[in-house]
Amino acid sequence: MDIKDLFKDIKDYENKEIVLEGWVRNNRNQSNFGFIDFNDGTYFKSLQLVYDKELKDFDKISKIKVGSALRVKGTLVKSQGSGQSHEVKVSEVEVLGDCTDDYPIQPKRHTREFLREVAYLRPRTNLFNAVFRVRSVAAHAIHEYFQSHNYVYFHSPIITGADCEGSGQMFKLTTLDMDNLPLTEDKKVDYKKDLFGKKAYITGSGQLHGETFALAYKKIYTFGPTMRTENSNTKTHANEFWMIEPEIAFCDLNGIMDIEEEMLKYIVKYVMDKCPLEIDFFDQFVEKGLKDKLNKVLNSEFVRITHHDAITLLKEAKVDWEFTPEYGEDIAKEHEKYITEYFNGPVFITDWPKDIKAFYMKLNDDGKTVAAVDLEVPGAGELIGGSQREDDYDKLIQRMKEMNIPLENLDWYTNLRRFGGCYHGGFGLGFERLIMYLTGVDNIRDVIPYPRTPNNCDY
Ligand code: 4AD
Ligand code: MG
C-alpha cells in the first residue's frame, strides 16, 4: 500500500499487519534494536520502522544501507518515541535492491548546488521531493481552475514558423546537414530543401495560435513547454520552461487582471490545502514567513499601478540605483524588487511604453503606451506578462511594419481582425516562477526537474 493512504486513515490500521515498499532514508541501530526512516515517495514524511534482536534477520537488517529499496511486513503501532505518532514494528524485510556505499544522498545536509549535479537522485531528498510534488499539485490546480471556468485546454504547436514575441529568441529546427548545407544561387541556406520547405522554429509562446482558438471558444488556455534562446544566466531564466497562456475573447485589460488575480489565489489556496506538510517544511527551512506571505496573497487585493506611476515611485525613492529609472524605459530587477517590497505583495504594473513591448499589444489612446500588464511578485520578479491585444486591423499592420515583423507569415493572425474580430486579451504565467513563489526556492534550476540553462544540458 501507499504510505500516503496509510496516513489518511491511520487509526484504521493501528495494530494491523501492513506491507510496504519503499526506500531507506536512514538506518540507525544499537545492539538490541534499530530504526529505519522509510519513505515510499507518496508522502512527504518518512515512516519509522522499528526492528529488534528478536528477529532472526536482525544482523542483516541492521546492515541495510541508506538508499536501498525494501519490501517490509510489519504491524502499525502507536509510537512510544516523540517525533512521530505511529511506527511500524517490523516482522519481515526483503531487500529488493541494495545500495552501494558511494550513494550520494546520505542523511545529512547537502547543498543545492551539489544536488543539481546528481539531479537524477535529488527527488529522493526532502526538499526536492516537496518541490516536485508542489509542482504536480499546482499543475492540477491550474487545470482545475480553467476547466471549472469554461476554458478549453488548447495544444499549441511546438514546431512553428511564427515568432510570437518578435524578439528572435527562438531555437531553429532543421533536418539539413549542418556540415553540408544546400545553398541558393546567392549563397544563402536553401530552406526550401529543409523538411518543412521553409524555416522552422521551436515555439517561444503559444499565444498567437491561442488567439485563433479564443476567437472560436471564447476562453482557452495552453499549458506546455516553451523554449527560448536567451543567454541569461539569472536565477529566474531557463532556456526550457513551462508556460500557461490563457486567451479570452471579450475581455479588456482590467478583465485580464481580475482573472490573473483570481487564478493565482485559487492555485495558492489549492496548494496550501493539498500540500500542508510541504508548505510547513518550506516555511521552516526555505523561506521563513512563506505561509504568512501566501495567506496574505489570499486575503488582499493586488495593487494596480501604471508604469508611469511606478517610475515616479522609483524616482522618489531614496535609493542609489544601479540603473536610473526612466519614464518610457524598462524596469530593472532592482526596481521590481523595490516595488514588490514597497507594496509587500503582488503588484500589477500596467500601460507600458509601446517601444519596449511586443507588436500585438493594444495601443492606448495616448499613442505612446500599450494595454499591457506585468504581475510582479517578491522573489520571482515578473511572474505573469499579459495584455489586451490589438484588435484594429490597420493599427496592427502598421505596428508590425514599424517593428519589422514579417507580415506574410502571419496573415492568418492578422486575418483574425477581419473575420469577426473582437476585443480580447490574455497572459503568460511562467510555471517555474510560480513554483519558486509557492516554495520560496530562489533558483529556477531547483524547481524544474532537469534544468536547461546556458552551458548546461546535463541529463
Ligand atoms: O512575458 P513573456 O515573454 O510573455 C509571452 O510570452 C506572452 N506571449 C504571454 C501571453 O500574453 N500569452 O513570458 C510570460 C512569462 C513571464 O512573465 C515569465 O514568468 C515567464 O513567462 N518566462 C520565463 N520563465 C523562465 N525562463 C524564461 N526564460 C522565461 N521567459 C519568460
Ligand atoms: Mg514579459
Question: 3-class secondary structure for 302-332?
Answer: CEEEEHHHHHHHHHHCCCCCCCCCCCCCCCC
Residue 218 pLDDT more than 80?
yes
Cα–Cα dist 303/409, whole Å: 39
Rounded CA Rg of the chain: 27
Q: How confident is the model at residue 165 (pLDDT cuts 50, 70, 90)?
A: confident
What are residue 19's DSSP bridge partners? 73
Q: Is the CB of 240 under 6 A from ligand 1?
A: no
Atom of ligand 1 nearest to the CA of 384: 17
Answer yes or no: are the C-beta atoms of 418 and 102 closer than 8 Å: no
Answer yes or no: are the C-beta atoms of 199 and 161 closer than 8 Å: yes
Ligand positioned closest to the Cα atom of 386 = 1
H or E stretch including 87? strand 86-97
Answer yes or no: are the C-beta atoms of 111 and 179 closer than 8 Å: no
In 3D space, the residue among 424, 389, 395, 396 whose CA is nearest the CA of residue 411 turns out to be 396
Cα–Cα dist 267/273, whole Å: 10
Per cent of the chain over pLDDT 70 is 100
Residue 167 pLDDT more than 90?
no
At residue 104, the 3 state secondary structure works out as coil
The pLDDT value given to residue 162: 78
Cα–Cα dist 116/428, whole Å: 27
Q: How confident is the model at residue 98 (pLDDT cuts 50, 70, 90)?
A: very high
Q: How confident is the model at residue 161 (pLDDT cuts 50, 70, 90)?
A: confident
H-only helix segments in 94-125: 112-117
Atom of ligand 1 nearest to the CA of 380: 19
Answer yes or no: are the C-beta atoms of 226 and 429 closer than 8 Å: no
The three cell numbers of residue 251 are 475581455
Residue 91 pLDDT more than 80?
yes
User: pLDDT tens for residues 223-270?
Assistant: 999 999 999 999 999 999 999 999 999 999 999 999 999 999 999 999
Q: Is the CB of 162 under 6 A from ligand 1?
A: no
Rounded to the nearest angstrom, the gap between the alpha carbon of residue 58 and the centroid of all alpha carbons in its chain is: 45
123: DSSP letter: G
- Vertex 236: Cα angle to 235 and 239 (nearest 5): 105
At residue 422, the 3 state secondary structure works out as coil
Cα–Cα dist 75/364, whole Å: 69
Residue 446 pLDDT more than 90?
yes
Q: Is the CB of 260 under 6 A from ligand 1?
A: no
Q: How confident is the model at residue 408 (pLDDT cuts 50, 70, 90)?
A: confident
Query: How much is the average pLDDT of 141-158?
Result: 98
The pLDDT value given to residue 81: 84
Ligand positioned closest to the Cα atom of 227 = 1
Cα–Cα dist 128/143, whole Å: 23
Distance 228 CA to ligand 2 centre (A): 13
